[in-house]
Amino acid sequence: MMVQKREPAVAGSFYPSDPNELRAAVQALLDGAGIDPGPAPRALIVPHAGYRYSGAVAASAYAKLLPHRSHYRRVVLLGPAHRESLRGLALPGVDEFTTPLGAVPLETAGLPDHPAVTIDFNAHRLEHSLEVQLPFLQLALAGFSLLPLVVGQARADDVADVIESLWDSTTLVVVSSDLSHYLPHAEAQRRDSDTCRAIAALDASGIGRHDACGAAPLRGLLRAAHRRGLAVRTLDLCTSGDTAGPRDRVVGYGAWMLAEKEPWKPAA
């Protein structure tokens, strides 16, 4: 039977298309973030711009996986729909996603059974918010299956219910989202600081649609994390004006990890 694949759409633009160059770039970002022997993340919030803009911010979160890299069996990856108009959450309906580093098998068992979840390959075909996370996951984890969900217009409770139905001790949830868009640097800092406080408080209602392009999946994760009593740790917060762009119109980036309040170790 022919394997159905989702091929890379932004290799060569958001990140290197050459496998050796990509591996070296991601490894350098992870090495720069350092290894923290802290608690194992249950979830991460990471940005999805080109690596020269937000790669170091994303790496600050992915580096938290390295001491626990062999324990995760599945990654539930959620990101916003930039290319297609979408209601609810969409699975791609294929067998694997590919990057220059190789193929990532998709989860085929235990798919979410929820009326807000549909299958829509077009929502995934050109979407970068999920794709740019894959090379980081391929290097940070020993091996995993992927359950990718593009999130369009969706209620926080629906997204939270889907996440809750998939969460177990060997599942990592990753939400891909940038923060404010195209504001002057100082104004973006103020708005993103407010968003950071809402995330730290697990306050889904404190995230407006102009505060984060991934507001819908982010609100769902915060709602699910509040139900589970998880703790949030802010890892990085900056703008494109701090990394590789001008300061007159910036995009905000942040990274957070969510973990059990008491030390938690994934099942071996």
Model pLDDT for residues 96-153, shown as the tens digit of each residue: 999 999 999 999 888 999 999 999 999 999 999 999 999 999 999 999 999 999 999 9
What is the largest distance, in Å, between two alpha-carbon atoms of the chain? Answer: 55
**pTM score:** 0.96
What's the rounded Cα separation, in Å, for the pair 176 and 189? 19
Burial class (CB in 10 A: 0-12, 13-18, 19+), 2: exposed
Measured over the CA atoms of residue 262, residue 266, residue 267 and residue 268, the dihedral's sign is negative
CATH architecture of the domain 43-131+138-143+151-249 equals 3-Layer(aba) Sandwich (3.40)
- pLDDT at position 3 is 85
* Residue spans of beta strands (DSSP E) within the chain: 5-6, 43-46, 74-80, 89-91, 96-99, 102-105, 117-119, 145-151, 171-176, 181-183, 231-239, 250-259
What's the rounded Cα separation, in Å, for the pair 99 and 189? 33
Closest C-alpha among 92, 71, 73, 69 to residue 81: 92
Q: Give the three-class secondary structure for 122.
A: helix
| Mean pLDDT for the stretch of residues 220-232 | 97
- pLDDT at position 109 is 81
Where in the chain are the domains? 43-131+138-143+151-249
Position 168 pLDDT exceeds 70: yes
Residue type, 37: P
Residue type, 56: A
What's the rounded Cα separation, in Å, for the pair 188 and 172? 29
- pLDDT at position 1 is 67
| Mean pLDDT for the stretch of residues 192-207 | 98
Question: Do 137 and 69 form a contact (C-beta atoms < 8 A)?
Answer: no
- pLDDT at position 268 is 42
**pLDDT, mean over the chain:** 95
Position 163 pLDDT exceeds 80: yes
Question: Do 97 and 148 form a contact (C-beta atoms < 8 A)?
Answer: yes
Q: Which two tokens stand for residue 104?
A: 């990532």
Better-scored residue on pLDDT, 46 or 35: 46
